[in-house]
Structure 1
């Protein structure tokens, strides 16, 4: 019997047993889910009308079958659009969240480096970094929430390396996980925290600089991909509006068959294009 894949939770308990965000999981709220789904449904339905609208017309006049087919294709293509586009939306939200966390984590390391440079011990360094981050970000921002949880753990005699490991495991970011591991070893062995954190900050900053450079060079390619994805729909819509003979050909069984094949190729090309421009730095 095949085992069902265990669903990941949006929140994971920290060593303090407080529910903390799992950055690998994004679950939109009810309002957001409905709004985004409705938007994709309407866009998909309109695209369906471009390719499959006004079938079964007689002498240039719409029949009952025309209206029924319009509703069916609007709903079917709209539902397919939601099914296809919603996971892409979730993926984009996750990437934005992780990029935001990575930027904030870099600022945290910068603050820790300054604190250790002034001769602070670990607890005081984290406290000073938290106060510094509080001036840069709002209390609801990821890094402020995480730092507050770490400090709460220290106040309740929870090992700081356990708090850092919890943060790293939930972050879904290899740099944060690696830092948590290095921090644990260094803290237990009595290593130079100032050097470790400074080097980690430099490495992450360099990686982000390379990623930004790659992203800048790919911007034009992504724009071209977006434009080329929209152009086939725009061209077909323009031809249907301006050329009655062309529009009539779409309403034939052969026209429906060719449209379906074309849409399949279009969707495949779009997904393949996403893989081409999705280069991680």
Structure 2
């Protein structure tokens, strides 16, 4: 049993897919159902339309899945910067790059804890070295699976330097410094945009809030828009414009470095 658990620990991780836990699945399904119910109440007030909205649950879960994939890759990118820093320190202390991987794993475990992506990736690299898989190929494989640009770039530089006999200490130091600077810029941009994202969310909620306010204070004012073909068409157009505006707002504040 212990052997199976150890073998499972070193399996490759797929960063192109994300599997919800039961708790996450229930959470996001509940959110999607709540959004459909609110949209139906504000724009249609029809049980039949609510039933037609049920397929939106699938799209919402897929959207959340893609968001979790992006978050996982971003977290791996940040963690990889610390891994390179640890690797650079170990190489400067006199270790070979291959031997420095083991030291790096211990540092990452203390920093992030067991079971995190970066720890398991470096554990996998360490285990593959025991069966004589070249380190440069392992980094190329990590870059290919993670699809993180910084990791892919490091893997390419490391592969070239390793095959051409370059100064590995200098290569790792330079790449670690450049990656650290880039991540620092990303974090500054995220901090700057945090307030703007909050403003964007408030502006996105305002149209729905206005409709809700009118329904509560002057229910007869909007009654002409419910229960007839013209009203359904008009509210559908409004809902489409509302959804497009929200999507555009999210795209504007989502800046990639």
**TM-score, with structure 1 as normaliser:** 0.81
Residues 45 and 73 of structure 1 are in contact (CA less than 8 Å); yes or no, is this contact kept in structure 2? no
Q: Does residue 1:256 correspond to 2:232, yes or no?
A: yes
> For residues 165 and 30 of structure 1, what CA distance do their matches in structure 2 show?
33
SS at match of 2:241: helix
Farther-moved stretch of structure 1 (20-29 vs 108-117): 20-29
Q: What is the CA-CA distance between 1:35 and the residue it aligns to?
A: 3.7
| Equivalence for 1:48 | 40
Aligned pair in 2 of structure 1 residues 169, 114: CA closer, same or farther (>3 Å)? same
Q: Does the residue aligned with 1:20 lie in a helix, a strand or coil?
A: coil
Gaps of 5+ in 1: 1-17, 54-69
* 1:41–1:79 contact (8 Å) kept in structure 2: no
Corresponding pairs, count: 247
Runs (4+) of structure 1 exceeding 6 A deviation are: none
SS in 2 for 1:21: coil
Aligned counterparts of 1:252 and 1:21: Cα–Cα separation in 2: 51
**Distance (Å, rounded) in 2 between the aligned partners of 1:272 and 1:83:** 21
Q: Deviations over 1:13-58 (max 9, x none)?
A: xxxxx641121222324553344123202221122112212xxxxx
Q: CA deviation at 1:169?
A: 0.8
Deviations 1:154-196 (A, max 9, x none): 1111212221211111111111111112112222222211111
The 3-state SS of whatever aligns with 1:272 is: helix
For residue 110 of structure 2, the aligned residue among 135, 140, 164 is: 135
Matched-pair contact (CA < 8 Å) for 2:108–2:119: yes
Q: Which residue of 2 aligns with 1:24?
A: 16
More helix by share: 2
Larger Rg over CA atoms: 1
User: Of residues 174, 177, 187 in structure 1, which corresponds to 2:149?
Assistant: 174
Q: Is the 8 A contact 1:48 1:74 kept in 2?
A: yes
Tell me which of 100, 109, 113 is aligned to 2:84.
Answer: 109
The 2-side partners of 1:84 and 1:49 are apart by 20
